Structure 1
Amino acid sequence: MYMSSASKLFVFASVSLATTVVHAGSTLKDLESTLGSYKSLESNFSQTTIGTDANVLQTLTGVIKMQKPGQLRWAAEDPFPQLIVSDGKTIWQYDEDLEQVVIQDYQKQIETLNFLQLLEKPTLISAQFVLVPDANDKATVTNTENGNSYRLAAADPASPIKKVSFTFSGDTLTSASFTDSLKQVTHIAFTNMTLNKPIDKTEFKFEIPDGVDVIHQQ
């Protein structure tokens, strides 16, 4: 799937953290249950991609709207506008600067949208990831007074995504982080998130602007 680095979808706090040893399977099921309770979400996001030399490769800010099954509106606003829209059947990726729209089949391409795939089908988490063990080789989840943080590693060494982390305030996702096979890390911070409020389906429709190049990758 063609996709610019802008569309690769994705805390250290100075507080005392308590770590609780738990059964890995049950912990992953808890994580899946929390994400599975998300029928829809709307949130501002700030996304940063960091290279292996710790240099910032890219920063993005924007708004994400998602509604199951398969509906997505991901709008990057700064530093340049880019839009990804899905109605559950078709994905449109509009790059305003390039005056280009890429059209793809949702079912064929969802596997490449790693973060969105896990939100859409959270049961994939326990199938594809394991909890990162602590120094005593025990599966752990970090608990703060506000919520939980999960650190996961890919079960398959060939996976393009090597590590994933999720941080919650209560049941609300506040950040996610992904490490890819190139050891680049993408952090996504979410603010002003609204959960399970119905979103008008017109948000997940896209009309191709006049005069742009259209690339079909279905």
Structure 2
Amino acid sequence: MILASHRLRKLLLPVLFAALPGLAGAAALDQFKSFVATAKSAKGEFTQRQIKTVDGAQKPAGVSSGSFMFARPGKFIWTYQKPYDQLLQADGEKLYIYDKDLNQVTVKPLGDALGSSPAAILFGSNDLEKNFSLKEAGSRDGLEWLEATPRSRDTTFERIAIGLKDGLPQAMELRDAFGQVTQLSFTRFEKNPNLPAGQFRFTVPKGADVFQQ
């Protein structure tokens, strides 16, 4: 259990699209609100980079990658494939975290797990401004950026930045209180795919240890 918790701290708990006509040059806030209103489901791939601050300098601390799919509100599958297998899956009520190497499942109430987390932005309800303060954050790297600040102090991240282009989230940056940064980039994004009924229902793998939190 200690090893699993150590691994999970390194991952995003989450923890996040087809172009929309007329939004190519729109401000980030307009693009994002349009995306949230029209993207009922999605799937794609991600690359995640960890950056730590060491002696005042930011240094790479690991890269992982995988795939994701979601259906609003609160249903998603976030799969880490490299450097090792791990699955975060939510069925709208509970969050299941499965460590394949340990054959171990941790179960949490979804409301507690989402809250003001990055996952709430991409996978939660449309009522974002209930949990986040949103504002424009300018242009860089060819993207229009939005900054989301959690209204609750009881959250891992201090600030979350979202980079958009053509009405789609292309990147996220998550900064915690210790100056560590998690960078996410999204590719092969498909908006509103036809996801099978029961896709997000989690089945405990044979022989797995289950821990309720």
Q: What's the TM-score bracket when you normalise by the shorter of the two chains?
A: 0.7 to 0.9
Task: Give a deviation string over 1:185-208, Cα, whole Å, max 9, x none.
Answer: 011000010011231133212211
Q: Is the 8 A contact 1:29 1:126 kept in 2?
A: no
Task: Give a deviation string over 1:85-126, Cα, whole Å, max 9, x none.
Answer: 1110121110011221001111232216x1210122353247
Shift of 1:161: 2.0
1:213 aligns to 2:209 (yes or no)? yes
* Cα distance in 1 between the residues matched to 2:120 and 2:59: 27
1:6 aligns to 2:11 (yes or no)? yes
Structure 1: tracts of 5 or more residues without a match: 11-18, 132-138
Larger radius of gyration: 1
Structure 2: tracts of 5 or more residues without a match: 17-24
Output the TM-score relative to the length of structure 1: 0.76
Q: Which moved more, 1:156-165 or 1:64-73?
A: 156-165
Q: Is the 8 A contact 1:41 1:194 kept in 2?
A: yes
Output the TM-score relative to the length of structure 2: 0.78
Aligned to 2:139: 142
Work out the number of aligned pairs and report it: 194
Percent identity, aligned pairs only? 20
SS across alignment from 1:109: helix
SS across alignment from 2:120: helix
User: Superposition RMSD on alpha carbons, in Å?
Assistant: 2.9
SS across alignment from 1:199: coil
Q: Is the 8 A contact 2:173 2:181 kept in 1?
A: yes
Shift of 1:41: 1.0
Task: Give a deviation string over 1:116-137, Cα, whole Å, max 9, x none.
Answer: 1012235324752253xxxxxx
Aligned to 1:49: 50
Which amino acid counterpart does residue 106 of structure 2 have in structure 1?
V
Q: 1:87 aligns with which of 88, 91, 99?
A: 91
Which amino acid counterpart does residue 121 of structure 2 have in structure 1?
L
Q: Is the 8 A contact 2:46 2:186 kept in 1?
A: yes
C-alpha spacing 1:105/1:152, structure 2 compared with 1 (3 Å):
closer
C-alpha spacing 1:4/1:202, structure 2 compared with 1 (3 Å):
farther
